[in-house]
A and B are shown apart, each in its own frame.
Chain A
Amino acid sequence: MIHGLERSTHMSQRMLKLLGMLLAITMVAAACSGSDSTDTVDAEDAPAATDAPEEEAMEEEEAMEEEEAMEEEEAMEEEEAMEEEEAMEENVEGELVIGTILPVTGDLAFLGPAEVAGAELAAADINAAGGVFGKDIVLIQGDSGDTTTDTANVEVDRLLAEGADAIMGAASSAVSKTVIDKITGAGVIQFSPANTSPDFTTYDDNGLYFRTAPSDLLQGRVLANAIIEQGNATVSVLFRQESYGTGLADALKANLEDAGATVDEFIGYAVDTESFDAEVDSIVAAGSDAVVIIGFAESANIVTTMHERGVGPTSDTNVWGVDGNAGLQGELSDPTILNGMKQTIPSVDLGSISDFIERLEEEMGGPEETAYGAETYDSVIIVALAAAVANSDGGKAIAAEINEVTKNGTKCTSFAECIELVKAGEDIDYDGLGGPYEFVDAGEPAAASFRIDTYGDDGADAALAEYTFAS
């Protein structure tokens, strides 16, 4: 009996050690492999909307692309016409179902309320103007979580099962990457209002991925220019080691060095880092003129540690943030330590859309971070307009029209105005709240306006905001 008990203790002791090692190895392996957990979706899961004739048309289209350019354009037009006809026959009775995966929880939760409210307002405006194909659109809101959870994956399964034709989100580039293959593989549109990673420009997405946020190649340039303008010759960069952070940090570094500045420390930190003491100590040791933090909510922890070590925004060091940490004051119990910090963020002049901001704040139930609210609103409107132009709720049919909806045609600035033009058979150019867009072939804006914020004692000081344009 006693002997047996001892043995079992031995065994469990060994088991524990084995388990610990195993756990360590799997966690490390998981950290390395990151976001490859997406799997292809069965044909059954794909919504009924996408169907064979359309796909054939697309294939033909691809074949034709190899021909000469002149012919190709003509052929394309024909193809589009054909597609439209087919779509009209098969899908006039469909209803447009738009799902969202927006950050209700997780690292980017502070951006969530504005994005969720933006989508709600867009759906309300579309339905108030009579909807698409004479039917109200259906909006199904979902959570994206962050990269430490599997929320986005689960929500996408749910939305696909509910027959979503387009999924808006996610806000985080890294989260979008975990679900892009699943969504676009199912023939459904993925349309992010806030992804800025340069990777998406060239991602193999079957032509189904779009975004209203500009690539970080642009933000990197704007940020570098602003940092140089401030007179900083040496810069240290702290960035999240994931899709968004590395993309923006690389763009920033290249631009800074081209313009003559030196990057002293270029520190990537793991997404789940729990303490930034060592990273900040490197910053202290480097003693750069400026420090750039490219992170999400954990930036609050970084800034606090920097403040404690005397290199925070209130010290002689110029501290810069980016769109990922907009709204930082909400994460800190003492936002005065941010005084003097600056940040760049893709945004139109908020003064020019003050009516919308008011509606957004009403929808959110109070003044919260409004970043990407307008972009989310526009994403939903663009998808609805493209669906109306295609006269189909099939993902591929809508996707074929999205770029054209944002450029070349009669300008219009609201869904009600645009839908009348579409009904009249005109080619439209939707200029949204978040910018004129003018999508390039990769499905993203060619140019964008950026806001440079300066923090006061309680968050970004609206009076000090400057706007600049990059293309």
Chain B
Amino acid sequence: MTARIRQESTKAMAQWKPLAGLLIVVCSILGLVSPALAQDEGGQSIVTQLRYKDEAGEQVPVEGAIVTVEGVGEATTDAEGKLSIPVPETGEYVVTLDPASLPEGIALKDADRAQLTVLVEANKDKRVLFALVTGEGAAAAAAAADSSGIDGRRIAQLTVEGLKQGLYLAMAAIGLSLIYGTTGLVNFAHAEMVTFGGLMTYFWNFYGLAGMIGFLAPLPAPFGDGTNLVFAIILGMITGGLLGYILDRVMFRTMRRQGISLIAQMVITIGLSILLRYIFVYFFGGSPRSFRQYTAQRAMSIGPVELTPKDLIAMGISVGVLIAIGLLLTMTRMGKAMRAVSDNRDLAESSGIDVQKVISTVWIFGASAAALGGAFFALDQTKWDFGFRILLLIFAAVTLGGLGTAYGALLGAIVIGLVINLSTLFLDPELKNMVALLAMVLVLMFRPQGLLGKAERIG
């Protein structure tokens, strides 16, 4: 069986030789050929180049080191640190570097890697590598090995990343919490409002105000060509708010009038979520999208951590918006009205509050915040099902922080963001979202009303 495969592969090789030969000729003409490739025709070799990095980070070749291939022979590295030992046939070989032949002060990075067992293919150079370090380098490598895992810099960096993710998540989550607080509705389609924000920002960024209408496209920005990302985000937020208003006006107000139960409404939002998602994929396609501007900013160093300017600004805006929403709820008449509707809708209505207007306002605010959050997440990349992928985290944030409370959503989201990122210090990154959900379950076991929820509202 194995023999047969090998036979076939050698046959295949034979057919490829003319092509390979042609390639080498072409490469030689272009001056691109490496010496290794040129040797291909004459059988197979074990090739290595011995180098180490000096203090300046320059690669320095090691001359005169002795490498032995068991059963074949030995060779000494040349001035470039290179050596090549031809081997007669394919198969496994044991390659050994003689550490004693290395110059003074230079050692193998890993002392037990002086001997390697390698598989050599037909007509192909097998490259092997012996990692070398200078005296100081060896000490540094050892120190690095000791401190790998947890160090102060990583904790600081991951905390900042956690805060960032938490703040964006809070923007996405606060609407869900507010809508729940005012109407009692659990809106599964909220995730799609987040996606909508990211995708609409992308749309404004690339097509401008009228870019999709053929004859207007050549006009200068912002009418024809795409608008700058800053304006695109504002437009995205407005469009997001509009979607929220329309959804409430057309669907949910009607359903409230009809007296459809909250559970039925919730199931309807699940359907709405699927519908919206596939509308997105229809219009935007399945591949990920990134914005025109500010996509690949270099991070700047702030103390021990690195953060891109765009994320720093977006984090600042998030904090501002979230505090403003919190103040709005506690300080203004509209906020009072919202809380009144939340506490007792019938009583609020009979005391002269325009309940429908309050609910509309909540939807507009919630959807705009979600859209803004979506746009911030999309600073990396966005996709038609992006919101759906973070839906669970949004729910976790809202539930953890305390349902229906604005500051609760903020706190919950930040806790989730921090747990996700800091967990990677100890656990495989693939488990990071699971750890966040585990944290939610644990907190709720001991504090069922959530971190900031009012205990008396629960039975």
Chain A residues with CB under 8 Å of chain B are 1-2, 5, 8-10, 12-17, 19-21, 23-24, 27-28, 31, 104-106, 109-110, 145-146, 148, 221, 225, 228-229, 231, 233-234, 241, 258-262, 267-270, 272-279, 281-282, 284-287, 297-298, 300-301, 304-305, 307-310, 312, 330-334, 337, 349, 352, 407, 431, 436, 438, 440-441, 446-447, 449, 466-471
Give the contact stretch, choosing among B8-16, B316-324, B364-372: B8-16
CB distance from A300 to the nearest CB of B (A): 6
The answer to whether A9 and B184 have CB atoms under 8 Å apart is: yes
CA gap between A337 and B295 in the complex, in Å? 10
The answer to whether A298 and B288 have CB atoms under 8 Å apart is: yes
CA gap between A212 and B164 in the complex, in Å? 45
Chain A residue, CB-CB nearest to B26: A351
By a CB distance below 8 angstroms, the chain B residues around A20 are: 395-396, 399, 440
CA gap between A312 and B122 in the complex, in Å? 35
CB distance from A3 to the nearest CB of B (A): 11
The answer, among B20, B49, B186, B399, for a CB contact under 8 Å with A231, is B49
CA gap between A470 and B9 in the complex, in Å? 9
By a CB distance below 8 angstroms, the chain B residues around A352 are: 19
By a CB distance below 8 angstroms, the chain A residues around B458 are: 10, 13-14
The answer to whether A231 and B389 have CB atoms under 8 Å apart is: no
CA gap between A317 and B128 in the complex, in Å? 20
By a CB distance below 8 angstroms, the chain B residues around A286 are: 148
Chain A residue, CB-CB nearest to B393: A274
Say whether B234 faces chain A, with CB atoms less than 8 Å apart.
Answer: no
CB distance from A106 to the nearest CB of B (A): 5
Give the contact stretch, choosing among B208-216, B251-259, B332-340, B378-386: B378-386
Interface residues of B in 412-459 (CB under 8 A from A): 420-421, 424, 428-434, 437, 440-441, 444, 448, 457-459
The verdict on A278 contacting B432 (CB below 8 Å), with A231-B59, A304-B296 known, is yes
By a CB distance below 8 angstroms, the chain A residues around B1 are: 441
Given contacts A15-B263, A279-B429, A440-B4, 13 further A-B contacts (CB under 8 A): A21-B441, A23-B395, A145-B286, A241-B430, A298-B381, A309-B299, A436-B15, A440-B5, A440-B8, A447-B16, A467-B23, A469-B20, A471-B9
Say whether B291 faces chain A, with CB atoms less than 8 Å apart.
Answer: yes
Chain B residues with CB under 8 Å of chain A are 1, 4-5, 8-13, 15-16, 19-20, 23, 27, 32, 36, 49, 51, 59, 109-110, 113, 116-119, 121-122, 124, 126-131, 144, 148, 151, 153-154, 157-158, 161, 164-165, 180, 184, 186, 262-263, 281, 285-288, 290-292, 295-299, 306, 308, 344-347, 377, 380-381, 385-386, 389-390, 392, 395-396, 399, 403, 420-421, 424, 428-434, 437, 440-441, 444, 448, 457-459
CB distance from B264 to the nearest CB of A (A): 12
CB distance from A257 to the nearest CB of B (A): 9
By a CB distance below 8 angstroms, the chain B residues around A104 are: 286
CA gap between A77 and B404 in the complex, in Å? 75
CA gap between A109 and B288 in the complex, in Å? 10
CA gap between A146 and B383 in the complex, in Å? 13
The answer, among A17, A278, A308, for a CB contact under 8 Å with B308, is A308
**Sampled A-B contacts (17; CB under 8 Å):** A8-B262, A10-B458, A16-B403, A106-B286, A148-B385, A259-B129, A274-B389, A285-B151, A285-B154, A286-B148, A304-B296, A309-B306, A352-B19, A407-B8, A436-B12, A468-B124, A471-B122
Chain B residue, CB-CB nearest to A316: B57
Most chain A beta carbons < 10 A, residue from B10, B295, B377: B295
The answer to whether A281 and B403 have CB atoms under 8 Å apart is: no
Chain A residue, CB-CB nearest to B151: A285
CA gap between A23 and B386 in the complex, in Å? 18
The answer to whether B16 and A469 have CB atoms under 8 Å apart is: yes
CA gap between A307 and B295 in the complex, in Å? 10
Shortest beta-carbon contacts, A-B, top 8: A105-B286, A471-B9, A260-B129, A233-B131, A277-B161, A278-B424, A447-B12, A228-B127
CA gap between A440 and B27 in the complex, in Å? 32
The answer to whether A446 and B9 have CB atoms under 8 Å apart is: yes
The answer to whether B290 and A233 have CB atoms under 8 Å apart is: no
The verdict on A12 contacting B433 (CB below 8 Å), with A229-B127, A275-B165 known, is no
By a CB distance below 8 angstroms, the chain B residues around A13 are: 403, 457-458
The answer to whether B288 and A300 have CB atoms under 8 Å apart is: yes
By a CB distance below 8 angstroms, the chain A residues around B448 are: 17
Most chain B beta carbons < 10 A, residue from A9, A109, A279: A9
By a CB distance below 8 angstroms, the chain A residues around B164 are: 277
The answer to whether A24 and B437 have CB atoms under 8 Å apart is: yes
The answer, among A16, A275, A438, for a CB contact under 8 Å with B12, is A438
The answer to whether B421 and A269 have CB atoms under 8 Å apart is: no
The answer to whether A21 and B287 have CB atoms under 8 Å apart is: no
Chain B residue, CB-CB nearest to A286: B148
By a CB distance below 8 angstroms, the chain A residues around B288 are: 297-298, 300-301, 331
CB distance from B354 to the nearest CB of A (A): 19
CA gap between A341 and B38 in the complex, in Å? 25
The answer to whether A300 and B420 have CB atoms under 8 Å apart is: no
Chain A residue, CB-CB nearest to B395: A20
The verdict on A305 contacting B380 (CB below 8 Å), with A13-B457, A106-B286, A259-B116 known, is yes
CB distance from B292 to the nearest CB of A (A): 5
CB distance from B308 to the nearest CB of A (A): 5
CA gap between A142 and B446 in the complex, in Å? 50
The verdict on A272 contacting B389 (CB below 8 Å), with A234-B131, A279-B424, A471-B9 known, is yes
CA gap between A305 and B429 in the complex, in Å? 16
CB distance from A321 to the nearest CB of B (A): 16
CA gap between A330 and B396 in the complex, in Å? 34
CB distance from B27 to the nearest CB of A (A): 8
CA gap between A21 and B442 in the complex, in Å? 11
By a CB distance below 8 angstroms, the chain A residues around B262 are: 8, 12
